[in-house]
Amino acid sequence: MSSWPKVYLPPIEGAVFKPLKLSDSNNGVVELDNNAQFSIYVCGITPYDATHLGHAATYLAFDLINRYKLLSGAQLNFIENVTDIDDPLLERAKRDNQSWQDLANTQTDLFRSDMSALRVLPPAALVKVTDSFDLIESFISRLDKAGHLYKLDNDYYFSVANFLAQIPMPIEQAIDIFAERGGDPKRAGKGHPLDPVIWIGNVDGDPGWPSSFGFGRPGWHVECTAIACNYLDKSGSNPIIDLQGGGSDLIFPHHFMSAQIVKAAYGRDFAKHFVHAAMIGLDGEKMSKSKGNLVFVSKLLSDQVDPMVIRWALLSGHYQQDRQWSSDLLVTAQDQVDQVRSALARSEVAKTDRLIADLIGDIANNLDTPTALNRLLIWAKQSESDPVVNQSGQISRAIDALLGLAL
């Protein structure tokens, strides 16, 4: 499936890009290699409720990483999936008496236009699960041949028996989270409550596809691993990709299981780094589908909110900090964007050379966007009181390239 339109990335002349520091969920703050190639797989949406501000904040975080790596001269191999067949999607379609394909297609289109409006760099491929059955089936066959699967009724499960000791929390807690996030720990007959389903045999007329594992559809974790390995395992490297990313709600079980599944299938590690973006709440409450308090990017856009103001508002918090959205945040962001735009419109502004170097340093320092935006506001004020150079074009291009803010 096509991604969304390309976003122009202006070069920042003469800039020096230090290695990017990021907080790896397994290893703390790490410095990324300055390799010529950088492969990143970001877990995409399940298209029945797109794009709320939690999604947007997550994709903005990985957009900053992609921008930085490209500006540093790396060749970016960026793939993202769309989980366009999954229980919540089927349930929503049934509830609304709508075909699941129509629901998935309209929400995916909305997601693409939201990402485009927010100036997120598109992936080389936005890969739908329903377009990927062949490659997922061959990945599952690899797991099966290596002896990691077992059959239960019409379904196939992946056994966690070999790596129980690596589960990063007490087992009872892991089981609770597994159940909250789509797992079926209580199903009778499983080898272990945490074994994830790999192939779901067709039930009750749900959609399915023929395969060597019967008529049905793949489980969630194996979809991402199969797609990532198919598109990004070009050199037989170990680990296979440089970075897997997503929201912090994917740390367990999704990314943990993905890593184990790839290891079992290939005998190699999946990702060198795992990076996760924090959650966005609304007015003091967690923003969630069950609470029905999601704020959608498309709704804000249809209310004539400037997408650059939404982007500024989301970047005003740090990507690893759970934070709150509120209408006040949007008002503040609009005011701050206006201040910077007003400075950029001047014929003479405060000096920018040091500012650009500092902004690059802020992003290199674990995507410290709050500090970067604060610097821009100080510069905007200085430009009003002490304009000395004709360099507003230079800073305008730099903040567009680094922060994705076209002001």
Binding residues vs Zn ion (CB under 5 A): 43, 224
Q: Least Å distance between CB 152 and Zn ion?
A: 23
By C-beta, is 167 or 224 nearer to Zn ion? 224
191 CB-near residues (< 8 Å, 6+ apart): 150, 157, 159, 160, 161
Comparison of 44 and 216: residue with beta carbon closer to Zn ion? 44
Closest to Zn ion by CB, 47 vs 317, is 47
Q: Which residue, 64 or 224, has its beta carbon nearer to Zn ion? A: 224
Distances (CA, A) of 28 to 22, 157, 275, 370, 399: 8, 32, 10, 20, 28
Q: What are phi and psi of 365, to 5 degrees?
A: -90, 70
- Nearest CA to 95 among 87, 84, 83? 87
CA 293/CA 356 separation, integer angstroms? 38
Shortest reach from residue 227's CB to Zn ion, in Å? 8
Q: How far is the CB of 67 from Zn ion (least distance, A)?
A: 22
Min CB(17)–Zn ion separation in Å: 29
Distances in Å between the Cα of 23 and the Cα atoms of 29, 177, 243, 271, 275 are 4, 23, 12, 14, 7
CB nearer to Zn ion: give 66 or 244. 244
In the complex, minimum distance from the CB of residue 303 to Zn ion, in angstroms, rounded to a whole number: 31
CB of 18 to Zn ion, least distance (A): 30
By C-alpha distance, which of 199, 171, 195, 174 is closest to 184?
195
Q: How far apart are alpha carbons 390 and 387 in whole angstroms?
A: 8
Q: Which is nearer to Zn ion, 43 or 127 (CB)?
A: 43
From the CB of 81, what's the least distance to Zn ion, in Å?
6
Distance CA 14, CA 199 (A): 52
Which residue number, 43 or 343, has a Cβ lying nearer to Zn ion? 43
Measured from the CB atom, the residue of 244 and 369 that comes closer to Zn ion is 244
Query: Between the CA atoms of 154, 160, 162 and 166, what dihedral angle is there, to the nearest 10 degrees?
Result: 170
Distant-in-sequence, close-in-space partners of 398: CB < 8 Å, separation ≥ 6: 10, 12, 15, 352, 356, 359
Nearer to Zn ion, 133 or 293 (CB): 133
Nearest distance, CB of residue 245 and Zn ion, angstroms: 9
- Dig out the tokens for 154 from the structure: 């019409």
**Number of helical (H) and strand (E) elements in the chain, helices listed first:** 13, 14
Kindly provide the b/e burial profile for residues 248-277, where b requires at least 16 CB atoms within 10 angstroms of the residue's own CB.
bbbbbbbbbbbbbbbbbbbeeebbbbbbbb
Structure tokens, 298: 């498309």
To Zn ion, the closest distance from the beta carbon of 280 in angstroms equals 19
The tokens describing 240, both together, are 């296979």
The closest of 243, 385, 298, 280 to 55, measured between CA atoms, is: 280
Please, what is the minimum distance in Å from the beta carbon of residue 251 to Zn ion?
Answer: 12
CA 186 – CA 237 distance, rounded (Å): 38
Find the helix or strand (DSSP H, E) in which 259 lies: helix 256-266
In whole angstroms, the minimum distance from the beta carbon of 228 to Zn ion comes to: 8
Instruction: Give the residue with the Cβ less far from Zn ion, 272 or 318.
Output: 272
- Residue with Cβ nearer Zn ion (223 or 400): 223
Are 125 and 231 in contact by the 8 Å Cβ rule? The answer is yes
